């Protein structure tokens, strides 16, 4: 069951990643074409502003969902980083974070869907493309669905924090710094990483203090 869910999740995201990449490329092409047409042919495209706006809305919410999948959204780890790696406190904060994201996903799915349904009942259309106005709200429930799906998989342990799809497991600047110090220690120690040195390096807090109990 878990592997089926993982496969389903992977393919859903791959499709949306493809849509996101195409949207980004299409936005650039349309805007560049507008400039070229204006200066070279003295003409323009009537939908040149409306379509990129729709695409950027779609792109934003798809990127938001992909950020949840690969845990690339920006976090402040001042308190989290002070707890022991793999300890209960860190695990608790991770689960709490996933729960918060799940609530946001459910909100986007339900209220975004509600907004779409409400707009469907209205007769308004977008001025240039003639599309119904509810189309511009579709990205929110779509992203809500993906965020809910991902959060549930993370909470149930089907997906693990390092199990990324689009990128290397995300590290904040502090972690990158810690890793570089560990690498340095490994080189100094004849390419064999001494756990104690690495622990000591990473026990240096960003504020410059050293944790006394962590010094080997």
Partner 1 sequence: MTTTTLAIIVLIGGFFGLLMIRVPISFAMLLSTLATALITGTNLTVIVQQMISGVNNFSLLAIPFFILMGEFMSEGGISEKIVDFATLIVGRFRGGLAYVNCLDSMFFGGISGSAVADVSSLGSVVVPMMVKQGYTPDFSVGLTVTTACQGLLIPPSHNMVIYALAAGGGVTIGSLFMAGAVPGMLLGFSMLLFCFFMRKHYNFPMGTRIPRDQWLKIILNAILPLFTIVIIMVGVAAGVFTATESAAIACVYAFILTYFVFRSAKFRNIGQVFKRTLKTLAIVLTLIAVAKAFAYMMVELRVPDMLTNFLVGVTSNKYVLLLIINLMLLLLGCFMDMAPLIMIMTPILLPVVTSPAIGLSPIHFGIIMIFNLAIGLCTPPVGSALYVGCAVGKTPIERTSYHMLPMYAVMIVALMLVTFIPSISMWLPTMLGMA
The CB-of-160 to partner 1 minimum distance in angstroms stands at 17
The CB-of-1 to partner 1 minimum distance in angstroms stands at 28
Is 2 or 35 the residue whose CB approaches partner 1 more closely? 35
CA distance 196 to 184: 13
The CB-of-114 to partner 1 minimum distance in angstroms stands at 6
Is 53 or 160 the residue whose CB approaches partner 1 more closely? 53
Is 114 or 215 the residue whose CB approaches partner 1 more closely? 114
Is 107 or 132 the residue whose CB approaches partner 1 more closely? 107
The CB-of-64 to partner 1 minimum distance in angstroms stands at 4
CA distance 98 to 91: 11
Is 2 or 111 the residue whose CB approaches partner 1 more closely? 111
CA distance 188 to 117: 63
Is 24 or 155 the residue whose CB approaches partner 1 more closely? 24
CA distance 72 to 170: 6
Residue that is written with structure tokens 């810690």 in the block: 178
Please, what is the Cα angle at 163 between 100 and 173, to 5 degrees? Answer: 75
Residue that is written with structure tokens 């993370």 in the block: 154
The CB-of-91 to partner 1 minimum distance in angstroms stands at 12
The CB-of-192 to partner 1 minimum distance in angstroms stands at 18
């Amino acid at each position: 069951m878990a592997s089926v869910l993982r496969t389903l999740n992977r393919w859903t995201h791959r499709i949306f990643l493809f849509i996101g990449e195409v949207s980004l490329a299409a936005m650039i092409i349309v805007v560049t074409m507008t400039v070229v047409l204006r200066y070279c042919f003295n003409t323009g495209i009537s939908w040149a502003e409306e379509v990129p706006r729709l695409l950027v809305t779609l792109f934003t919410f798809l990127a938001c969902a992909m950020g949840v999948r690969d845990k690339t959204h920006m976090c402040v780890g001042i308190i989290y980083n002070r707890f022991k790696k793999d300890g209960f406190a860190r695990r608790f904060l991770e689960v709490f974070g996933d729960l918060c994201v799940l609530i946001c996903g459910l909100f986007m799915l339900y209220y975004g869907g509600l907004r779409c349904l409400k707009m469907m009942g209205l007769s308004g259309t977008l001025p240039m493309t003639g599309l119904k106005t509810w189309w511009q709200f579709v990205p929110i429930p779509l992203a809500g669905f993906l965020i809910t799906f991902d959060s549930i998989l993370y909470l149930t342990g089907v997906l693990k924090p390092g199990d990324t799809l689009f990128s290397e497991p995300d590290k904040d600047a502090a972690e990158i710094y810690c890793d570089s110090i560990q690498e340095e220690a490994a080189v100094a120690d004849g390419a064999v990483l001494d756990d104690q040195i690495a622990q000591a390096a990473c026990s240096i807090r960003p504020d410059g203090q050293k944790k006394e109990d962590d010094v080997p």
